[in-house]
Amino acid sequence: MKTRLNFILLSCTLAIILLESGRILKAQDVPRITKIQRLASKEIVLDLSATAGLNYRIDVSTNLTDWISLMTVRSTGSIQHTDAAAPNLGSRFYRALPIIGTPLLTGEHLVTTNGEVVIQPLFHATFVMSWNGKVIYNDPASDSAFNSRYQGLPKADLILVSHSHGDHFSSAQIEAVRGPNAVIIVPQLVYNGLTTAQKALAIVLRNGASTNVMGLAVEAVPAYNSNHPKGDGNGYVVTIGGKRLYMAGDTGTTAEMNALKDIDVAFLCVNVPYTMTVSEAVAAVRAFRPQVVYPYHFRNQTGTLSDLDTLKKQVGTDLGIEVRARKWY
Ligand SMILES: [Zn+2]
């Protein structure tokens, strides 16, 4: 009996120690779902109240037994998430849990055969992903309006740069985010603009070429239109634990894009006059049929943003494609 009591006490002690350092989880830190709303688009909007400054994970299940991580989010006192997968699915259950410790990133999760990828949009064409403790930056550009979003992010193990335009490439910003041994994958024109130290870490990929780094496969897909000469820029298909992610770079609709197969997550540029109109983007999405699409790079030359509601409507639900309209600006 004595032993048993000790065991229980030990368990309690451990439970307290295991919680976030310097902070003991309190009853009020347990999040409450305050509202669940089905939109006309059939997306589901979740509203939660949760302690400001704490990180939470939202999971989803269809049977209350098998749960999949939807996202990690840092609470500002409340949390709102739009579940863009809901229109293509039947009933869903949600739960939210406080996270112990600090996650590398916040953002939506992608389950792979080898760990989860977390995707965190930063701005315009710039985003960061984590996977099994590794950190991948896509087009780490410098933009005075948004550079504060880099604050507190972990250093890069891998950096992908699509092309040399200033809204995608900044050698100084690469220097700011790179870890000491980061691999930098670039087209030739970007390589030419790197520092000597960065060049030593760089791999140049021509359109159609591929490489393997950190257990990932990276393939360069041509990205081009009248504003972007063919051969200058790369889109990339990155294969992570069996999942294929496509970052389009700056491109019009191309035969190469339309021919892509088995893309799980696509990042697609939608702005005028530089890349694709909304209807061009819709046609591309419906041609290569990614499971999930993040419209990105959707600020037009005039400063307005492309109409993602229209894009979502026109992609439709018949092909089961999930359109994630997220905050990039
Ligand atoms: Zn651009």
pLDDT tens string, the chain, 329 residues long: the values are: 332 322 333 333 334 434 444 567 788 888 998 999 999 999 999 999 999 999 999 999 999 999 999 999 999 999 999 999 999 888 889 999 999 888 999 999 999 999 999 999 999 999 999 999 999 999 999 999 999 999 999 999 999 999 999 999 999 999 999 999 999 999 999 999 999 999 999 999 999 999 999 999 999 999 999 999 999 999 999 999 999 999 999 999 999 999 999 999 999 999 999 999 999 999 999 999 999 999 999 999 999 999 999 999 999 999 999 999 999 99
Q: How far is the CA of 198 from the centre of ligand 1 (A)?
A: 22
Whether the full predicted model's pTM is greater than 0.85, yes or no, is: yes
- Give burial (CB, 10 Å; 0-12/13-18/19+) of 148: exposed
- C-alpha 320 to ligand 1 mean position (Å): 28
Cα 64 to middle of ligand 1, angstroms: 43
Cα angle 11, 13, 14 (rounded to 5 degrees) comes to: 65
Give 236 Cα–ligand 1 centroid separation in angstroms: 15
The length of the chain in residues reads 329
* Whole-Å CA distances, 262 to 23, 112, 238, 265, 266: 44, 14, 12, 9, 10
Q: How far is residue 220's CA from residue 205's CA, in Å, rounded to a whole number?
A: 6
Cα(145) to ligand 1 centroid in Å equals 16
Q: How far is the CA of 261 from the centre of ligand 1 (A)?
A: 24
Q: How far is the CA of 27 from the centre of ligand 1 (A)?
A: 46
Q: How far is the CA of 186 from the centre of ligand 1 (A)?
A: 15
CA 250–ligand 1 middle distance (angstroms): 5
At 6 the pLDDT is 29
State in Å: Cα 303 to ligand 1 middle: 13
Say if residues 69 and 115 touch (Cβ distance below 8 Å): no
From the CA of 44, how far away is ligand 1's center (Å)? Answer: 31
Ligand 1 centroid to residue 167 C-alpha, Å:
5
Cα of 140 from ligand 1 centre, angstroms: 12
